[in-house]
Each structure stands twice: as C-alpha cells, then as structure tokens.
Chains A and B, each alone.
Chain A
Amino acid sequence: MSTVIRWFWFASPQTFFPLAGTAARWSAAIAALLAAAGLYVGFFVAPTDAQQGEAYRIIFIHVPAAWMSMVIYLAMAFWAALGWVLNARMASMLARALAPSGMVFTLIALWTGAVWGKPAWGTWWVWDARLTSELILLFLYIGYLALTEAIDDPKRADRAGALVAIVGAVNVPVIYFSVKWWNTLHQGASVSLTAAPTMAHAMLLAMLLMTFAFWAYAFAVVFMRARAIVLERECGAAWVRGLSNPAIGLPT
C-alpha cells in the first residue's frame, strides 16, 4: 500500500515550513527572471500603440495585478473555508498570508489604472463597472484584514475571517452585476474597456510573461509570510525552538 497519497502530509506546519522555504526561494528567482524578460519585451520589443502611444505599456503591470487581485481573493476564501471545515491550521494560516498580497495587488491595479486612465481617457477615475467592483474588492480585503487583526485569539480570528471571506466571495458576483446594471442605468462612462483593439504578438507575450512573473511573486511572498506566521504561532513547539538552536539542527 505504498501508493496511498498522503493528502495531509504538508498540512502540518512542521513539514510545510521547509517546503515553503524552498518554494519561496525558487518562486522568487523565477519571478525575477520572468519580470526581467517581461519588462524587456514590454518596453523594448513591443511596438508603440497607434492610438495610445507609449502610455499603454502600463497594462503590462495593470492587467496582471487586476487578475491576481481576484484570483487571490478566491484562493483566500478557499483556504479559509478548508481550514475552517477540516480544522487544518496550515490552511488557515495560508489564508491569512494571502490577504495582504491580495490587497497590494488590488491597490496596484487601481493605482496603475488611474495613471493609465489620465492619458487614455483624460480622467483619473470613472465610475466604470470594473473600476467600481475593484474598489469594492479593496474594501472587502481591508474588512477581512481589519477583522482578523482586531481579534487576538488566532483560532477565533481564523474562523471569523473565514466567515467574512466566504460571505464576501458569495457577494462578489452580486456586487459585480449590480454595479454593472447601475452603470448601464446611469449611462455614466462613455468609455469601454472591452472594446480594446486586438493586440500585437509582442504585447501579448509581454503581458503573459508579466502575468506569470506576478504569479511567481505571489507564491514567493505568500510562502514567506506563511513561514513567518508559522514561526509566530508555533513558537512553543520543540521543532521551532530547534531552529534557533544549532545543537538540535535546522530542518532544511
């Protein structure tokens, strides 16, 4: 019976800790390489856009950040729910580690969007459905972080955070569609993001490279943060104390 998959092998903080360390180092290296390649293609290979000039190049940061902001919210809700249902500590810690990265990506997406909107649309901000939903996503992240930081007991914080993340994840489609309908009702923004012209191959390549670089960066940062959370919470455990005591030896 050697073929049994041990699903929960890495659910233990002790086995997860060295794995996360290795994964974080590799992810960081991959992120640096991909970002260098992506930025090179984006800035020097991709042609200048006929309508938007050079300003369009900010989408190489903007679009991956916006994607990551949404993916990370779903990942956070998933791990929080898993940690709650299965009472798996590591899953809850991973959810907590994901939240700050998700918020940062949301902020980057909003900020770069504003910087791009000024030359392209002539305004920093429009109440477009996507922009508004992204803003509300930022508020959801802030609410999650504020709640989990306000609770001192880690177990209660994890569970309260999980409930908020799930309620938020259920609400995200409702919010998106209500904002969309509100937008069409008000006839506010005359510009549309969906009517973008088809992209040149080099542009697409740069965007894909940057997207994978952002993924790798997210993995690296989240694993490092998860390691810090593990150390903080498990500081009483023998294996954590062994980390700072060379006589016992470091787990690699």
Chain B
Amino acid sequence: MLAAARCIVRRDLLLALRRPSDVATALLFFVIVASLFPLGVGAEPNLLRAIAPGVIWVAALLSSMLSLGRLFAADHADGTLEQMLLGVSPLGVVAAAKVFTHWLVSGLPLVAIAPLIALQYDLPQSLYGTLALSLLLGTPVLSLIGAIGAALTLGLRGGGVLLALLVLPLYVPVLIMGAGSVDMAAAGLSPAGQLQLLAALLVLAAAFAPWAIATALRISTE
C-alpha cells in the first residue's frame, strides 16, 4: 500500500520535473495576481499592509485552483487512471498520493514565495512566520478539497469554469482562517486559535477527502 503511494509520488514528481513550466505557470500566476492589487487599489502603504493577508490568500486560492485541472486530466487521457482504478492498491491511497504530490509542486512553492509578496506589501517581518505557517496548514486543504472537484469534472465540457464554481465556495473556511490568523497576529493577538482551526480542517480533509476523491473518480470513469 505504502509502496504504491511512494511509487505514485515519485512518478508524479518526475513528471512535474520533466515539465517545469507547468509548475512555474501556477507560481507566476500567484505572483502576478498579487502584484496587480496595488495597481488597482493604489500604493498607499497602510492600505497595502491591511489587505496583504487577504490578497496573498486569495491569490493562493486561485493559483491552487488553476493547477487542479491537470491533476487527473493527463492520466485520464492516456488510460493510466483506468489502470489505477483496476489496480490492487486502494484507490483512496492512490488519490491521497496524487493530491500530496500536487501540493508538493503547487502548494509548497507558494509557502516559499509568500514572504516575497509580503515584502512587496510592506508586511512587518514579525508576521512572516504566521503567514508561512497558515499557508503550510491551509494549502494542503485546498489541494484535498479541490481534488474532489477535479475528479468530478473530469472530461466535462467547460471543466475549468465548472471547477471554480464547485470548489471556490468550499474554500471559504480556509480563506477565513488563513487570512484571519495573519490579521490576528497583525493586531497583536495570538494567532494560535485560527491556526489550530486550520490544522483541524486539515485533519478532517485528510481523513475524508481521499475517500470522496476515489468515489468521484469512480463516478467519472464508469
């Protein structure tokens, strides 16, 4: 079981390494979206400091959603997905491994690059830790919930927009807790409560989402 998961993680990572532009696209999207906001709302430093956590989190949400379409599409197109469905290893484990790899290539880079955006927004450096921690806890939840939508919209016309309609409302709690934790820290309060709630969401999603993803994959491929 673990061997299958390790195999899938290694394979998907290798595939991502062979096509680095895919990873870079999502990351650059994140940077560009975040850089557009000051041009829209003005460069007043106090305003930017106030909106920074929210902007960074919304950009992370959109960027994570953008790369979801590719999660199962290639495997679906070349028949690999059907072999995974037929294989002996439980589909939930396969789904969890794929989602984990998706997070490694699309979520983790966001955590690494977020301080750079925070620098643009003149966020105090004492908040970087909270920001990174909230993204570290929150982005896996985005990948887990989003994968359910990606599996359901597999092979449908208008899949991208449909995915956004399905997934974005479900992202709301993560957005609120994630941006809220940084806001709390900025106000001089302890962000521990919000971060613990994020961790709770992560535990819940990690426990139930792989099962839902596996079910959705079966629905979409039968």
Interface residue stretch chosen among A32-40, A171-179, A218-226 = A171-179
Q: Mark B161-192, 1 if CB is under 8 A from A, else 0.
A: 01001101110110011001001100000000
Say whether A150 contacts B156, CB under 8 Å: yes
Chain A residue at minimum C-beta to C-beta distance from B216: A163
Stretch at the interface among A11-19, A70-78, A136-144: A136-144
Asked if A181 and B169 sit within 8 Å, CB to CB, the answer is no
Contact call A160/B173, Cβ cutoff below 8 A: no
A167 with B148: in contact, given A147-B162, A156-B220, A182-B180 (CB under 8 Å)? yes
B158 sits at the interface (CB 8 A): yes
Are A140 and B176 neighbours in the complex by a CB distance under 8 Å? no
Please name all residues of chain B whose beta carbon is closer than 8 Å to the beta carbon of A167 when the two chains form the complex.
148, 170, 212
Residues 79 to 108 of chain B near chain A (Cβ within 8 Å): none
Q: Is B44 an interface residue (CB 8 A)?
A: no
Contact yes or no, A185 B180, CB < 8 A? yes
Contact A163 B176 (CB under 8 A): no
Interface: B123 (CB within 8 A): no
Cα A178 to Cα B181 with chains together (Å): 12
24 sampled A-B residue pairs with Cβ under 8 A: A139-B168, A142-B165, A146-B166, A147-B152, A147-B165, A147-B166, A150-B158, A150-B162, A151-B156, A156-B219, A159-B219, A160-B152, A160-B216, A163-B216, A164-B152, A174-B173, A174-B201, A178-B173, A178-B197, A179-B172, A181-B180, A182-B180, A185-B180, A185-B183
Q: A139-B169, A147-B166 are in contact. List 9 more A-B contacts (CB 8 A).
A: A139-B165, A146-B162, A151-B156, A160-B220, A163-B148, A163-B215, A163-B216, A164-B152, A182-B180
